[in-house]
A and B are shown apart, each in its own frame.
Chain A
């Protein structure tokens, strides 16, 4: 089925497809997944370089997990093609990809080491290689002492780290991490970030990361793709993405009566120097180059509309603002 789609796509995008090359770790071409009338992934095309950490950002239901499931082979695309190291995905050895799903996917009655050994066996690794790999991974993720502890007795953070270890036990070229740090305490998160960086720097792996934590995407990713409604909205480095919406600050204003947000926002849009006004979760986000100097004007305007400000703050432009600018909605936390 996939090869049929490939030929169809080939005729449509002759030029772009001729560029399938092993220079990229992963190429996604005109990928579409439909569930009846719902288009979960809509004509998505992107390339991921070898050895980069690629961030995937998108709100809930944006289609990130659907894309990832097609990349790893859990879902078949409705149309489009995926190439890994220049080869069709279906022809690539299963050992070249590893995935850490959003949910904890562990055998609770087995120990940490046993979980990893089962997966090593499933990838046909010699037992000696698996044992060595298990030792290294448990040490890197601070789980060595828990090697013989059953998963059911681990803390949430430990389970998450083991979940990541399971994705890489077979030493894949490409590692897909679907929200790996969700619900982690700050200490575990830092440990995990170090581990992800070491996968890139020490083992030369290509890492695909989806996350809701903007800070995480910002710090870890070499490039970030923002998708919504199954479409690619923007793909660039974090620095360039922030530049897309310009520099400046964000004023976050909370009105005592949020039903007045619309009136106030309409009024503020006419103020000179204000670049953008958005309602994000009931709060008004105002982006301006010199926000501090504009504050008195903004407050006067609000006063004139007889609205009352219950809280106001100023912060720097972040990746999240890029995200809001592009998708028109915030991220869940």
Chain B
């Protein structure tokens, strides 16, 4: 005996595959979108984070600080240094600057920001240099103390190997350490650089991302340089007497220079494809009612479960095909995918949740649409705006609903597809594992389950009962 839901799933799959129009709609249509978006937003010169310099202003309130380097005291202004760095930094493999600095007053900057004459205004606080000194000292202490043991061992070994009878006193080593490795005092000054801008503007979003990356890079380079310097001192290499903390620090920023707007959109377009299922599912089920085949099935031993589960299976298979096809196309078009085969597996699982959400909405529409055509049109009318609301094509301004579980929820988060899109981005762009996206997946499952129950009950009541 053949399992009925399986027979129905195979039947529906054959119907979809043989119906060229529906196949085009479900697979090629989103692929066409993918190609267009890759063309428009995939190159470094495209909108947003391309090689166009961002208009910014830096308000440097830094009062400077003094720090001792090789027992000499130097006055530094890290704020000025960072400002210079922002003005000089270029996109990787290009001569184009990331930022164009506008030399304006704080008030003027505020005005320009409001008129979108500036993408962002960076305010460097008064204690920035002192915070930098703290950071450098802390790094130096850690590095120096971690190496003291090794220094002693090395020196003792050298002594043992000495052929002459001269006994270098152990105190000589200690002197050396005392001379060259003055352990800096530790202070705990923290400073916060403020990046101000219109959160509703995508230009700000892009600029802000780049600025934060530069800052992170600046910090880690300071630490790295300090560590190198301390090591060099211990090895009695005095060639680098003056530490140029910053000039050597700037390197191309990996991850940002080649990240394009398309990388944001590609996972969104997969969600868009999954949302197109709403229309197809609704149309298919409405066709069964319209053509009388549903009545024919109802007269048989088929149970509601067979039809609903069969439908679910069919569309899950189609969802998997959509996800893999669109992912492949996106990668071929330059989508920066990090993560291995696992990330694809996780993306497919997350995508299936989105697919089930679409099937549920399709069931709901099929319950109430008066005919096949209306079901299909209603599906499109809902799927397309919902795609935008889930942020499939571009990020949406904040419409905060509230905060729970340490996360701020936006109105759009009530749509399961938003959660799916967010999870897909995490998984495909950053190679995140399940633990990183568990919250998104959890919410997606809960929201989908609610939609599924509503869809199944509506469809069963309206279409599967005898009148």
Contact = CB atoms under 8 A, between A and B. Distances in A.
Contacts of A107: 11, 15, 293
Given A101-B292, A109-B18, A118 B299 contact: no
B11 A114 contact: yes
A95 B2 CA distance: 16
A166 B301 contact: no
B299 A99 contact: yes
Interface string B305-340: 010000000000000000000000000000000000
A75 B7 CA distance: 26
Nearest to B18: A109
Nearest to B15: A109
A303 interface: no
B75 to A, nearest CB: 81
30 contacts: A73-B466, A74-B298, A74-B299, A74-B467, A75-B466, A75-B467, A76-B467, A94-B299, A101-B296, A103-B292, A105-B291, A105-B292, A105-B295, A106-B291, A109-B14, A109-B15, A109-B19, A110-B14, A110-B15, A119-B296, A119-B300, A121-B4, A122-B297, A122-B306, A123-B301, A124-B301, A125-B1, A127-B1, A150-B18, A166-B296
A94 B296 CA distance: 11
A122 B295 contact: no
B415 interface: no
Query: Among B2, B8, B299, B302, which residue has the most Cβ atoms of chain A within 10 A?
Result: B299
A126 B7 CA distance: 12
B139 to A, nearest CB: 69
Nearest to A126: B1
A70 B307 CA distance: 23
Nearest to B292: A105
Interface string A147-181: 00010000000000000001000100000000000
A72 interface: yes
Given A74-B295, A103-B292, A110-B15, A122 B300 contact: yes
Contacts of B295: 74, 101, 105
B300 A123 contact: yes
B73 to A, nearest CB: 85
Contacts of B291: 103, 105-106
A127 B301 CA distance: 15
Interface string A64-82: 0000000011111000000
B300 A106 contact: no
A170 B297 CA distance: 13
Interface in A104-141: 105-107, 109-110, 114, 117-119, 121-127
Contacts of B299: 72-74, 94, 97, 99
Nearest to B5: A121
A124 B445 CA distance: 34
Given A95-B301, A105-B295, 13 more contacts: A72-B299, A73-B299, A75-B467, A103-B292, A105-B293, A106-B291, A114-B11, A114-B14, A122-B302, A126-B1, A127-B1, A150-B18, A170-B300
A99 B297 CA distance: 11
B113 to A, nearest CB: 58
Contacts of B466: 73-76
B7 A122 contact: yes
Interface in A43-84: 72-76
Contact of B1 (A75, A94, A117, A124): A124
B372 to A, nearest CB: 12
Interface in B255-306: 291-293, 295-302, 306
Contacts of B15: 107, 109-110
Closest 4 CB pairs of A and B: A122-B300, A121-B7, A105-B292, A109-B15
Interface string B1-36: 110100110010011001100000000000000000
Nearest to B294: A105
Contacts of A99: 296, 299
Given A73-B466, A75-B466, A122 B301 contact: yes
Contacts of A95: 301
Contact of B296 (A105, A109, A117): A105
